[in-house]
């Protein structure tokens, strides 16, 4: 979706403000927001692409005026309701919480280290042929889906060159919509800054963007 989360190339969003000796979390509520989001994710009721999409669905003006972990909370509440794990009334404290209607696998403290070490399963071993090879010239498609996509607006309808083939991965546009993995190759595609931003951009500099087969056409 063409949401405000897709920020590449926007102007006017302020200066970059690094914080010296920044702590991992700034408040106790950030710690808890981080932990409940990760722990709820381990229930397995949604995947990482659904999780990203849920945060994108937060209204744009709110995204721009709230902090990072507030985005996480918004997305978590959305997913809990969408997947039937909680109701808005329960979240608002208007009714007594009901137990889940089905058995769920809840992450235990002793399982945390192994679960983190295992990581996600975005790489797929399916034998899917690559549509492009390193060195091929490609053009990104001009798509504007209402759903989740990882093709940023600034990189649509642009010419680039396949720099690396990263193998077969889950396709987020399908995965976020619950349409399965639709596994396909992901490539680092190299773009000149002038292709992306016009003749005033640096002639020397390049952007590398990770893109799936479905985003690309031969050029």
Q: Which of residues 64-83 bind other proteins (CB under 8 A)?
A: 64, 66-70, 73, 76-77
14 touches other proteins (CB under 8 A): yes
What does the DSSP 8-state code read for residue 52? H
Note whether 189 and 162 are within 8 A (CB): yes
61 touches other proteins (CB under 8 A): no
Q: How far is the CB of 67 from other proteins (least distance, A)?
A: 7
Note whether 189 and 163 are within 8 A (CB): yes
Site string for other proteins, 160-199 (x = CB under 8 A): ----x-x--xx---------------x-x-------xx--
Q: How far is the CB of 214 from other proteins (least distance, A)?
A: 12
What does the DSSP 8-state code read for residue 166? E
Q: Which of residues 85-144 bind other proteins (CB under 8 A)?
A: 85-86, 90-93, 97-100, 104, 106-109, 111-113, 115-120, 122-123
CA angle 65, 146, 67 (to 5 degrees): 15
Note whether 157 and 139 are within 8 A (CB): yes
Q: How far apart, in whole angstroms, are the C-alpha atoms of residue 206 and residue 203?
A: 8
For residue 19, the tally of other CB atoms under 10 A from its CB is 7
Site string for other proteins, 20-49 (x = CB under 8 A): --x-xxxxxx-xxxxxx-xxx--x------
55 touches other proteins (CB under 8 A): yes
Q: How far is the CB of 34 from other proteins (least distance, A)?
A: 7
Please choose, out of 125-133, 134-142, 176-184, 201-209, the segment that lies near other proteins by the rule CB under 8 A. Answer: 201-209
Q: Which of 149, 211, 145 is nearest to 184 (CA)?
A: 211
Q: How far is the CB of 72 from other proteins (least distance, A)?
A: 10
Residues 6+ apart with CB under 8 A from 60: 3, 4
Give whichever of 31 and 141 is closer to other proteins, judged by the CB atom.
Answer: 31
Q: How far is the CB of 210 from other proteins (least distance, A)?
A: 3
Q: How far is the CB of 146 from other proteins (least distance, A)?
A: 16
Give whichever of 127 and 200 is closer to other proteins, judged by the CB atom.
Answer: 200
Question: For residue 218, what is the enclosing H or E element?
Answer: strand 216-218
Residues 6+ apart with CB under 8 A from 16: none
């Amino acid at each position: 979706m063409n949401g405000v989360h897709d920020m590449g190339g926007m102007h006017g969003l302020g200066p970059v403000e690094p914080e010296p000796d920044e702590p991992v979390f700034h408040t106790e509520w950030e710690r808890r927001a981080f932990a409940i989001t990760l722990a709820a994710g381990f229930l397995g009721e949604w995947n990482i692409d659904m999780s990203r999409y849920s945060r994108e669905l937060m209204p744009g003006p709110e995204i721009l005026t709230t902090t990072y972990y507030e985005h996480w909370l918004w997305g978590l509440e959305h997913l809990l309701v969408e997947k039937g794990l909680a109701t808005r009334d329960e979240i608002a404290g208007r009714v007594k919480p009901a137990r889940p209607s089905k058995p769920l696998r809840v992450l235990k403290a002793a399982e945390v280290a192994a679960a983190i070490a295992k990581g996600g399963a975005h790489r797929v071993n399916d034998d899917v042929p690559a549509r492009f090879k390193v060195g091929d010239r490609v053009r990104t498609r001009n798509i504007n889906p209402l759903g989740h996509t990882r093709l940023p607006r600034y990189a649509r309808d642009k010419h680039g060159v396949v720099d690396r083939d990263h193998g077969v991965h889950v396709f987020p546009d399908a995965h976020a919509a619950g349409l399965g993995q639709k596994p396909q190759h992901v490539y680092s595609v190299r773009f000149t800054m002038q292709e992306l931003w016009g003749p005033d951009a640096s002639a020397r500099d390049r952007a590398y963007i990770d893109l799936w087969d479905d985003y690309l056409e031969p050029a």
